[in-house]
Structures are given as C-alpha cells and as structure tokens.
Amino acid sequence: MFWADKIALDIKEKRKGPQWVDDMKTPSGKIHVGALRGVILHDLIYKALLEAGVESKSTYIINDYDPMDDLPSYLPPEYEKYMGMPFFKVPAPDGSNQTYAQYYAHDFISVFNKLGAEPEIFWDSKLYPRGIMDEAIRIALDSAEKIQDIYQEVSGSKKRQLGWLPFQPICPKCGKIGSTRAFSWDGEIVEFICEPEMVKWAKGCGYLGRVSPFGGTGKLPWKVEWPAHWMALGITVEGAGKDHSSAGGSRDIANSLCREVFKIEPAYNIPYEWFLVGGAKMSSSKGTGVSAEEVAKILPPEVLRFLLTRFNYKQTINFDPAGETIPKLFDEYDRAASAYFEKTDEDLARAFELSQIKDKPREYFRIRFSQVANWVQMPNVDPEKEAEAFKGSALIDLDHKDLQERIKYVKIWLENYAPEEAKFTVHKTLPLTIGELNSAQKELLAKIAHELGRDWQPEELQNAIYNWGKDLNLTSSESFQAIYLTLLAKKHGPKASWLILSLDKNFVKDRFIEANQP
C-alpha cells in the first residue's frame, strides 16, 4: 500500500470523527522548494483521508506575526530598520501595497496551487486580531510556570527565568515584536519592556509599557503558538520536518503542552525527511537554496508533484537540477505512467495517480526526455515528424501538445542545467579534433561518404556503420567517435545515423572527405 494511504488509514483507525489537516510557514523571504514537501505531503494525506471516507479539512497557516530576524542577501541594506518587526508590518520589496509577508507568501501559494494543493489559507495577522487566539493566550499566560517546567523537563536545556511570560507584545512605540519581553500578568494586562540588547538581530527602543494581550496586540512564542493553533482551530493532523521531531525538540514540547496546558490531544504527527538541493539544506530567511517559484519554472506541475509524491516521507529527497537529474526524473514519471496504465507496479502507479493535478490520469504519448533533447539540437529535424515514427509502437496516437510541452522543458534544461556531454553543435568548419582520428577511422568516414547517396533509414544506417567499422577492426565506440569528432568536435553525441541523416547529405559527404585530406 502506498505510504500516504497507509497514513490515512492509521489516522482513521486512531482518530475518530472529522479531521483537520494543517501545515504552516513563516514567509521570511523567497520560500525555498523544500517547503513544498510539507505542502504536498499534507495535501496527499488530506486527499487520501477523503478517499478513505473520512470527512476532512485542509488549511495552511501563514505565520506573518513572526519577527523579521534575518536579512536575506537579495534585500537592500535599508531593510535593516525593519529587523524585529512582524512580517505583516514590513513593506513589500516591490513597493506595492502588499506587506512583505503577502509578497512572498502569495508567490509560494501560487506555486503549490498549480501543483494541485489548494488548502484554505489562514493568516496569523487575521487570527490574532479577530480574537481566535485569545483563549489560548490566556491559558498560556496563566500557565507560564508550568510551560517553563515543560521546557526544562522535555528539552533539558531551557533554564527557568524569573518573571518570564509566554507572550511577545508588539511595541507601540517602535513597532517591533522581536525585542519585547513581557514580565508581569495580572489576569488582564501584561507589562513589558522593549529591550535594546535582548537579541543580536534587532535593537529595542527601551519602551516600558502595559497592554492587554488580546485582540492582536502580540503573539505567543512559536513553541507555544504551534499547539495553541491546534487548540484554537481544532487541528488534528500536522506533520513537520524531522528536526522538529528529534528527542526533546519542539514537537515533544508541543505534545506536552497539549496534554498538560491546553488539555487537548496533540495533532497526529508525520515527521518527514529533508528536501535537499544538491545535498544542501535551504533557508528562506538567509536566501540560500533554490526557490519553489524557480523550480516550478523548470518542471511541469505534474512532474514536480511526482517528485514530491514518489518518495516515502521517511526518505530524503535530494534534487539537483544540474546534470542528468531532470532527464531521469522524466523517465521515472513515464515509467510510473506505464505502471498505472499497464497495472504493474502498484506503488509506482499510485504515485503517478496522486501526481495528477485535477483531472483523472490520462494516457499520453511518451518519448524519452533524452531523445527529445537530441532532436531539438539536430539541424533540420522536426521533432513532430520524428515522433511520428514511434506511433506504430506507442499505446496511443501522438498528441502534439504533450510533445511540445516536453520540448519546452527540454530547452530549459539544455540552456541552464544540461552537462556538456549532453549538448552538441554541428561545427560549420572542420574541427581540430580530427587530429585524434586514426587511419581506420578516416577510412570509415570515406566509406560513409561514398554510401550516403542511398536512401537510408536511421536504424539501417546505424547497423551499416557498425558493420563497416567492424570490417576495419574498429570497436563500436571507435566507429561512432569518428563521426562525433568530425561533426561535433567531441567524443559523444546522439545516435550517429540520426545525426547524419538530420544534416544536408552533401555537407556531411564533403566534411567526411575533407577529414581524409592530408
């Protein structure tokens, strides 16, 4: 059984009644592609629950009450003045009427909507002012000492602080939330100070004030806020990256807070592995890694969703767009399609099914990514005409829209990510690499030039070249390298016969004859 279906059945068995599946993100900058793993994972669980007959709801919370605590490299230095302010109060970098949080969150939401995930969006900047978090805030403030006990018992590293309160007011004087410390609570009002040196990344103004903690005047610290969201909204399912689920980590703290402070059952946990790019973890606030928006431009929505669906949540996904990763991903997607329509590999077929955006899976004309890459680089080759040759063995007729979409992504890969050995250009003049040819290879070129007047089919010519080379005591590699070195100035390339037949015959004949000149 596919991993998402197993989780859904486990939830159904352990949690009776309707389920509320949630995920969340702080929009601290360009949101990296790794954050898509959580979105798609929760979307898969939500849809698997629906298929299992469980009434379910799916939401995504934007934590825009969080303070700006790092300055991404792509922002101008003048943004330093906003450090410590909540993201919903920081202006968008494009000068629009959006907030900083809206600017980056909307881009990310647009990406995951295109991938078929459409949770209801909740913003902390609306939850807090509407009073939805008020009851959780009151409980947390009344339980401040108990919360400190839990921090210390669970993590073993948090020391008790005299007068510590789990609430961060927004300073009415400087607008910062990252530098404020609440120290007194009488059941209605908290006293706080905006400390100049409390954190390294923001300087407080020194204001000493009193404020009601309700109605959006501040927020709970994140480790308390996480389970508070579950209580306030009724969330029953929410996973997180494996770092949160390590022993003594934020998930253990959240579970204890649920049971001992908020008196609810913790949300069902799904501790998932990293999504890495080239082996590196990414950070939105530091501006490192590849953004979700960038990756969504180099892969079709179904293929990107497949990348996030195919792997079990316990497996690390390491995606490096450079090299052969993208062609291999397309091959795996095509293999999954075959598994679905031919009813072979059940898990692979299910991954393909769950990777479709809105429509049910449909048959499509499958041609390997690498083959299309060769076609688009060959002079005088029309990929659509070449694809027609495959129709006899294809399950369905050629759909030119499918081919054109694949051509689009092949060109993106060739221009930005393909290794040099996958790229080729026919040289207009005889390249210097012919100096690497031996006499037998030159003799083979002369033989090919002499035979080019015939009406060849690609496979027929490919076999003929192999046999002519064999007669000259050349290995298969030596035979085809002679052609590549003479036409492309490299030792590798597409199928030699297809390359030759894609070119003007007189051009090839003259080039091979010229290669034999002293």
> Exposed (0-12), middle (13-18) or buried (19+): which is 392, by Cβ within 10 Å?
exposed
Running DSSP on this structure, what letter comes out for residue 260?
I
Confidence of residue 241 (pLDDT cuts 50, 70, 90): very high
Q: Which residue, 252, 226, 224, is CA-closest to 168?
A: 224
Q: Give the CA count within 13 Å in the CB-facing half-sphere of 306.
A: 25
Running DSSP on this structure, what letter comes out for residue 221?
-
What pLDDT was estimated at residue 282? Answer: 44
Once rounded to an integer, what is the mean pLDDT over residues 441-462? 94
pTM for the predicted model, two decimal places: 0.90
In DSSP terms, which residues pair with 21 in a beta bridge? 58, 237
Alpha carbons 266 and 145: distance in angstroms, whole number: 21
What pLDDT was estimated at residue 287? Answer: 42
In 17-149 the beta strands, taken as DSSP E runs, fall at 19-25, 56-62, 120-123
Q: Which residue, 267, 232, 235, is CA-closest to 251?
A: 267
Q: How far apart are the first and last CA of the chain?
A: 67
Residues 6+ apart with CB under 8 A from 243: 249
What pLDDT was estimated at residue 448? Answer: 97
What pLDDT was estimated at residue 285? Answer: 45
pLDDT surpasses 60 at 288 = no
Query: Which contacts (CB < 8 Å, 24+ apart) does range 97-101 have?
Result: 99/64, 99/125, 100/27, 100/68, 101/27, 101/62, 101/64, 101/125
What pLDDT was estimated at residue 388? Answer: 80
Confidence of residue 283 (pLDDT cuts 50, 70, 90): very low
What pLDDT was estimated at residue 390? Answer: 66
Domains and their CATH numbers in the chain = 3-133+221-275 (3.40.50.620), 156-219 (no CATH), 322-421 (1.10.10.770), 432-514 (1.10.10.350)
What pLDDT was estimated at residue 163? Answer: 85
Please write the tens of the pLDDT for every residue from 32-89. Answer: 999 999 999 999 999 999 999 999 999 999 999 999 999 999 999 999 999 999 999 9
| Residue 384, both tokens | 């659509």
pLDDT surpasses 50 at 23 = yes
Tell me how many degrees the CA angle 349-352-355 measures, rounded to the nearest 5: 150
Alpha carbons 228 and 235: distance in angstroms, whole number: 10
Once rounded to an integer, what is the mean pLDDT over residues 467-482? 97
What pLDDT was estimated at residue 157? Answer: 67
- Percent over 70 (pLDDT), the chain: 95
Please write the tens of the pLDDT for every residue from 424-447. Answer: 999 999 999 999 999 999 999 999
Please write the tens of the pLDDT for every residue from 322-347. Answer: 889 999 999 999 999 999 999 999 99
What pLDDT was estimated at residue 412? Answer: 95
What pLDDT was estimated at residue 280? Answer: 55
Kind and range of the H or E element at 397? none
- Percent over 90 (pLDDT), the chain: 84
Please write the tens of the pLDDT for every residue from 162-211. Answer: 789 999 999 999 999 999 999 999 999 999 999 999 999 999 999 999 99
What pLDDT was estimated at residue 160? Answer: 65
Once rounded to an integer, what is the mean pLDDT over residues 151-160? 79
Mean pLDDT value across the chain: 93
Q: Which residue, 304, 340, 301, is CA-closest to 325?
A: 304
Assess contact for 266 and 15: CB atoms under 8 A. Answer: no
What pLDDT was estimated at residue 392? Answer: 55
